[in-house]
Structure 1
Amino acid sequence: MLRLISWLILIGIFLLAGYGLNLIRVAVMDKIADPSAIIWWRVLIGSFLMVGGLSFLGGFLFYRDKKQGRVRKPVWKIKKEQEKRQRQQQESK
């Protein structure tokens, strides 16, 4: 039951992101058809929905993969840890 609920939430968020992209597309087409059209509010709402939906989906996938141990550390963090270990080894000599 929980999987069904999570799938419904993900599909809903994905549809909202798609609707945001559609709002942007329609606003641009309206601007092409009628240069005096005011489109800023549709572009703003569409961008918010699209970016918000995609960031939610990306965060969900990142959290799930991190929980399953599929995410590795960033390169800068690995280098920092190696440098710290080297300094500790040099100080212990």
Structure 2
Amino acid sequence: MARMLAFIVMLIPALMAGAGIKFMRDTLFSKLISPFPWLWLQFIIGIIFLVVGLGFFAGFLYHRDRKNGKIPPKVQ
């Protein structure tokens, strides 16, 4: 059960980062998605989604590796 919960917790930021990439790609091809009134806003939201999603994933991996002692002392 704990592994399934961890998988779901990691799946949400991954989907968020994927949506951010999609928003930015659609902006580059001038395809406006319905909740956004302007292309520049769609691109900014895409960047935010990508940074937050990847940041959560990277922070989770860093926390897990630090807990397991895989981070060198120089970095800590």
Superposed, which structure 2 residues align to 1:8-87 within 5 Å?
A: 8-30=8-30, 38-74=38-74
Give the TM-score, by structure 2 length. Answer: 0.84
Higher relative contact order (CA 8 A, sep 6+): 2
What is the aligned-residue RMSD (CA, Å)?
A: 1.7
- If the length of structure 1 is used for normalisation, what is the TM-score? 0.69
Output one character per residue of 1:45-65: Cα deviation in whole Å (capped at 9) or x when no partner: 100000000000000000000
> Secondary structure of 2:30's match?
helix
Tell me which stretches of 4 or more aligned residues in structure 1 moved more than 4 Å: none
Bigger helix share: 1
User: Among the aligned pairs, what percent are the same residue?
Assistant: 33
Structure 1 gap ranges (5+): 32-37, 78-93
Aligned residues: 70
